[in-house]
Amino acid sequence: MEVPAEGKESPALPPAAALPSESQAMAVQITVLEARELKAIKSNVSVTFVCVEYNGASLGDSSRTDVLPNGTANYNFSTSFDCSPDGPNSWDDIAQKPVLLTVMEVLQKEKRQKEKTACLGQAVVDLLPLLQGQCSFKVLAPLYAVPPSPLESLHSEAKAALEVTVCTEEPLLSAAQLSNGNILSVTLEAAYSVPEAFATTGPLQNYMACLQVPAAGEKEVPLFFTNGTLKLTGEKEPLPRPKKWPLANVIAPGALSIPNSFIVGGPYEDEDGELNKKEDREFRIQAERMKRIIWDMERRCYLDPTAAVILQKHIAECQCLPMEVCRISAASSSKRKTSKADKGDEDKQIFFHGVAYVNVVPLLCPGVKQIRGAFRVFPYQDTEVFKKTKTQQSVFRDLRGHLSLTREELRTPQPSTPPLSRAVPSKTPKEDKNTKDKDSNRRMSSASKVQLSDATVEAENATYCLDGQQYTEAGTFLVMEIKLDKALVPKRSREELSRQVKQMIPPRPLLPPRTTGAKKAVEDYHSRVRSIAVAILSEYHELFGKGLPGWGAIDHQTLEEQKHQLNFELNSSGKYFAFKEQLKYAVVKIVREKYLKTTVFETQEQFQAFLSELYVYLVDQMHVALNQLLCEEAASPAPVSQTTEEQLQLFAHEAEVIKDYRLASFYHQQRLAQDQCNIQYWLDYGAFCLLLEETTKAQECFQRALSLDPHHIQSLLLCGIVATMLQHYEDAEIFFEDACCLEPSSVVARTLSGLFYELQNNNIQAEMAFREAKKLLQAQLAKERSIPDAAEGEGGEKRIPAGCVSSPSPGPEEHLPEGSLDGSAKRVPEAVEPAQSCTVPEEDAAAPEVAPKAPSPVAGPSQPPCTVFTKAVEFLMKVNAIQFVHRALAHELLSFQGAPSCAYYLALAQTYLLKEDLPRCEECLCEAVRIDYVNPNVWAQKGHLCYLKRDFGEARQCYERTISFAEDAADMHFVYLRLGSIYLEEKEYGQAKQTYLLACKNSASCLTWLGVGIACYRLGELLEAEDALSEANALNNSNAEVWGYLALICLHGGRQLEAEQCYKYAVKLALRNDALLREILAAQERFGFGNPSL
């Protein structure tokens, strides 16, 4: 329904006055070229013509045209109409009103009778492309048949079509209007769970709705939805189903469908409105089968640049748009004529006046162009509507006089009334009369309003509220969709994000050149030959070394015998085969890189020739390699470090736990020295710098990692975090947006973006980010539940990975208690991969193992579901980003329906440990124990707290309880270390030895072997003690205690030189264990050696 235009502007202004599209009426030319397959509608049709209408006005009829045998009729009929921004045919009309084409059949007439015609079919042409920048387009519009009687309906697909072209001399919109303007489309699908008072019996009712869209100034554009169809209980509406035009003069039902525009529906959880929770699902399903009102109607309007800005501003301020709904009696014309004097006010009364507050805030999210959802209907109350939407008045109340007089036009006409151009003149007097009556009724209404008392107005409002209250009682809700042609807030392009990130990353030197190709293949072959030769010489020396003469040559016969014996030993022991396998890969590389042979030989002769050539070459190169080995006296290279990357990470983490940050930094730098191109090494070093609150240095590490891979999600997130900590907010926003673009399915990226926007007081962006993260998490959990639990059969045998039982909250990225031992440690040695590497199947494998334990919430059946903030906390605690942890925990606390979870208290306890607030940490752990008494992570954390408080008795009990569980805690390495140290303090050396050996078996380090060595030394097992301490020294030769205990063992063994060397290293490395130093000095004095200063 359209509000009548007050007048028509002058047709033309000077071109200089304004843009052509804003000052001149432009002609839109419609050309109907031909009709196709007309005989598919009616087989004996012979003569037809086409009628063209637009916006209720006839544009003319074509000439009578014969239908060819193939069903084609060539009309070649052209007509046009004028349009202008504010004229009778405005941009809004172009957007939402199509051209209506009616094909008429000329019936054969008898003698002396007038020509008779019948409506054959109708088609519509959408003019929306004219507002999207096109000057001309051609369509093949489906031609829908008109049912032969009003009781019949034809909804089958159109078999005939009309070929139509639409063109204008120049674009309707200027470049600025096209770029900054927008097209708003609103689809009202249905109202469900309507009041019981709505019935199909009784007087005919018109169910209407209207959405008020803010426009320029204080004006609002109303989008009316009329003629809702009341349907009783039955099957739900089919999906997909076509959207309908807001037209009243269409008699072919199929022509009401908008081409290529459908209502497709979708899961309730993915909707943007209300009633999209799991608990609402059953209500929604039942409501869709009960009494309902169906519109399935789409209304559009053009938003000029000013209106688009106003709409965006209104959404930011009010967040909601009001969608009014009501019921108006649609009395017949004859009834209204007989009772006009008596029913003037009754005709204008509005019943069941309600309003739905449509939350359109998601449209302010970058790149969002469409929202769809269900919205509850409430009674219309002026104060409440103004409070929520700033709408001062109801559009239905303002226009109810107009609505009551024009509802005849709003009703869909009967099929017996042809919408032809010939009918327009006959309707004009009636329209004029209606207009006069309308003006008269307006004047009478104005006069009556003056006489109304305040009590009358209040009584009328009370009636509206009573009717509207039934919406609340019935739980009525509207399902609708709002779509924009362009997003109100444009999304930053991926190229722009990449370009800006690249600019912020400092330049790095080029990677050193690497030797590849044939040269590298030959060098690898030489290296392999030399290593095998050394191994064979070692075998020879082992067999015959003791029998070799000190000086002089060996006779030939002896050499031959030794050769045969050596070959026999190599073959019988399998070492010959092993040496051959070691050479195989080097030979393959030479074949591929030097001879470029990668395909099968065509003939056997070629193959033999190649083998001969290859053999000669390999023998020559073997001699070269042997000459290099035996003849050249090169300096022996420095021994290659045998420490692996995993060991270095473990050593660094151990140093962080004992707060030896200098040593931890050394190990991190050692990892980087081994491979400066490893992203994870830089990220771990940066997280260590965050632990030391060296934010600038952490930023350098994260940016270095990002320079190695600009698409690495963790690096982008960490760069965003440190940029936020350094108050570089623009840079941080780019990093977070880039991470979300690269990995749209990342729950952590979306959640961290929301925390950042919240820090910036950008609540709309924050809410959208959190909402998207929740949707992604729900999808992940649904996918996880759909995968069969393959680990069900091995639940009682498989050990649970530490990272997957760290929290009772289910989720694929479990890292929370990695730092649960004290405030300075938040990572376990096993968690060396990025957060994305901990996958859902590992979680699934852990679940069956703890499921049989009824009291245990580790499996998660009695705990709150995993939230996006739990995921964020897991990631943030791993990288020591405590500022973001507090914000995530605050949201996590608010997200609980009941009491907080065990995981919440564990994470909060870690933050208190970091600040060395032990009392508050103890409070959190007491709550965690109360919630989940059999969670090993809780007891491990509590043991660490008691250990730091030096309450070793309580710590021992906690640790012993931890290792008694069937599943391991997340940080068992440090549980073993600290429990072993307690046993040593209490002089239970046998228990200490076993505990440290368990630690060595789990993850060996210098500290674990040192514990074994100390326990063995105290037990008098000096040989085992020396072996253990030697292994500890091999892993870390800068540990002063290792050198100190080695000095004691050498003193007991009477090895003076070695005892002095070990003592000097212990002193040089600043041995801080005073008791051990006094014990060494006493032993030196007792044995009389070992101290060079004496």
- Report d(CA 62, CA 55) in Å as an integer: 19
Summarize the confidence of residues 278-303 as an average pLDDT: 91
Query: Does an H or E element contain 199, and which?
Result: none
- Report d(CA 184, CA 180) in Å as an integer: 13
Tell me the HSE value of 819 on the side-chain side, using a 13 A CA sphere.
27
Give the model's confidence band at 586: pLDDT under 50 very low, under 70 low, under 90 confident, else very high.
confident
- Residues contacting residue 947 through CB under 8 Å, at least 6 positions apart: 955, 978, 982
Tell me the HSE value of 946 on the side-chain side, using a 13 A CA sphere.
21
Q: Which pair of tokens denotes residue 388?
A: 């929520």
- Report d(CA 747, CA 774) in Å as an integer: 7
- Report d(CA 1005, CA 1003) in Å as an integer: 7
pLDDT, position 16: 33
- Report d(CA 864, CA 859) in Å as an integer: 11
* Burial grade of 909 (CB within 10 A; 0-12, 13-18, 19 or more): buried
- For β-strands 116-125 and 136-145, DSSP reports them as antiparallel
- Residues contacting residue 627 through CB under 8 Å, at least 6 positions apart: none
- Report d(CA 296, CA 242) in Å as an integer: 8
- Report d(CA 255, CA 247) in Å as an integer: 10
Q: Which residue would you say has higher pLDDT here, 680 or 335?
A: 680
The model's pLDDT over 150-170, given as tens digits with 9 standing for 90+, comes to 545 555 567 789 999 999 999
Give the model's confidence band at 1064: pLDDT under 50 very low, under 70 low, under 90 confident, else very high.
confident
Give the model's confidence band at 641: pLDDT under 50 very low, under 70 low, under 90 confident, else very high.
low
Give the model's confidence band at 985: pLDDT under 50 very low, under 70 low, under 90 confident, else very high.
very high
Q: Which residue matches tokens 């209104």?
A: 314
* 3-state helix/strand/coil string of 477-489: EEEEEEEECCCCC
pLDDT of 414 strictly over 60: no
Output 1017-1020 pairs: Cβ under 8 A, ≥24 positions apart.
1017/1045, 1017/1048, 1017/1049, 1018/984, 1018/987, 1018/989, 1019/989, 1019/990, 1019/993
In angstroms, how far is CA 1047 from the centroid of its own chain?
Answer: 59
- Residues contacting residue 59 through CB under 8 Å, at least 6 positions apart: 30, 52, 53, 79, 80, 81, 421
The model's pLDDT over 780-799, given as tens digits with 9 standing for 90+, comes to 888 887 765 544 444 444 33
Is 800 strand, coil or helix?
coil
The model's pLDDT over 36-74, given as tens digits with 9 standing for 90+, comes to 988 888 888 889 999 999 988 999 999 999 999 888 999
In angstroms, how far is CA 179 from the centroid of its own chain?
Answer: 29
- Residues contacting residue 501 through CB under 8 Å, at least 6 positions apart: 706, 710, 716, 734, 735, 738
Q: Are 712 and 731 in contact (CB under 8 A)?
A: no
- Residues contacting residue 3 through CB under 8 Å, at least 6 positions apart: 222, 399, 402
- Report d(CA 477, CA 943) in Å as an integer: 55
- DSSP assignments along 356-367, one per residue: EEEE-GGGGSTT
Query: What residues does 208 pair with on adjacent strands?
Result: 326
pLDDT, position 1018: 93
Percent of the chain at pLDDT > 70 equals 76
Of the candidate ranges 346-355, 683-692, 1065-1074, the one whose mean pLDDT is the lowest: 346-355
The model's pLDDT over 594-608, given as tens digits with 9 standing for 90+, comes to 777 777 888 888 888
- Report d(CA 478, CA 189) in Å as an integer: 8
pLDDT, position 17: 33
pLDDT, position 81: 93
Q: Please choose, from the candidates 799, 802, 869, 871, the residue with its C-alpha nearest in 3D space to the C-alpha of residue 832.
A: 802
pLDDT, position 787: 67
- Residues contacting residue 1054 through CB under 8 Å, at least 6 positions apart: 1087
Looking at the chain, how many residues does it have? 1094
pLDDT, position 832: 30
pLDDT of 497 strictly over 60: no
pLDDT, position 29: 94
Query: What residues does 205 pair with on adjacent strands?
Result: 329
Q: Which pair of tokens denotes residue 953?
A: 């008795």
Q: Are 215 and 195 in contact (CB under 8 A)?
A: no
Q: Are 102 and 420 in contact (CB under 8 A)?
A: yes
pLDDT of 430 strictly over 70: no
- DSSP assignments along 987-1022, one per residue: T-HHHHHHHHHHHHHHH--HHHHHHHHHHHHHTT-H
The model's pLDDT over 186-235, given as tens digits with 9 standing for 90+, comes to 999 999 999 888 877 777 788 899 998 887 655 778 899 988 888 888 88
Which ranges constitute the DSSP H helices of 363-478?
A: 382-389, 395-398, 400-410, 423-451, 454-474
Q: Which residue would you say has higher pLDDT here, 432 or 697?
A: 697
pTM for the full predicted model = 0.59
The model's pLDDT over 6-44, given as tens digits with 9 standing for 90+, comes to 333 333 333 333 334 445 788 999 999 999 988 888 888
The model's pLDDT over 234-254, given as tens digits with 9 standing for 90+, comes to 888 888 899 999 887 788 888
Q: How many CB atoms lie within 10 A of CB 288?
A: 16
Q: How many CB atoms lie within 10 A of CB 809?
A: 25
Q: Are 30 and 99 in contact (CB under 8 A)?
A: yes
> Could you tell me the sign of the dihedral formed by the alpha carbons of 716, 721, 727, 730, in that order?
positive
Q: Which residue matches tokens 């440090």?
A: 974
Radius of gyration of the chain (CA): 43
Render the burial of 258-284: b for 16+ CB within 10 Å, e for the rest: bbebebebeebeebbbbbbeeebeeeb
pLDDT, position 1070: 87
- DSSP assignments along 378-392, one per residue: EE--HHHHHHHH---
Of the candidate ranges 259-263, 450-454, 747-751, 914-918, the one whose mean pLDDT is the lowest: 450-454
The model's pLDDT over 535-565, given as tens digits with 9 standing for 90+, comes to 888 888 878 776 665 545 677 788 788 888 8
pLDDT, position 833: 31
Backbone conformation region of residue 334, classed left if phi is above 0, alpha if psi is from -120 to 50, else beta = alpha
Q: How far is CA 775 from CA 615, 754, 1011, 1063, in A?
A: 64, 14, 49, 63
Summarize the confidence of residues 471-500 as an average pLDDT: 78
Q: How many CB atoms lie within 10 A of CB 599?
A: 6
Give the model's confidence band at 749: pLDDT under 50 very low, under 70 low, under 90 confident, else very high.
very high
Q: Are 1049 and 1065 in contact (CB under 8 A)?
A: no
pLDDT, position 417: 34
Q: How far is CA 1004 from CA 448, 827, 990, 1046, in A?
A: 95, 17, 19, 19
CA dihedral 106, 110, 112, 113 (to 10 degrees): -40
Q: Are 818 and 867 in contact (CB under 8 A)?
A: no
Query: What residues does 825 pair with on adjacent strands?
Result: 822
Q: Across the chain, how many H-helices and E-strands are there?
A: 39, 19
Q: Which residue matches tokens 């909804």?
A: 155
pLDDT, position 330: 67
The model's pLDDT over 812-826, given as tens digits with 9 standing for 90+, comes to 333 333 333 333 333
Q: Are 239 and 265 in contact (CB under 8 A)?
A: yes
In angstroms, how far is CA 301 from the centroid of its own chain?
Answer: 32
Give the model's confidence band at 629: pLDDT under 50 very low, under 70 low, under 90 confident, else very high.
confident
- For β-strands 477-484 and 370-379, DSSP reports them as antiparallel
pLDDT, position 6: 37
pLDDT, position 314: 86
| Per-chain mean pLDDT for the chain | 78
Of the candidate ranges 511-525, 758-772, 1019-1033, 1057-1071, the one whose mean pLDDT is the lowest: 511-525
Is 659 strand, coil or helix?
coil
Amino acid of residue 68 = L
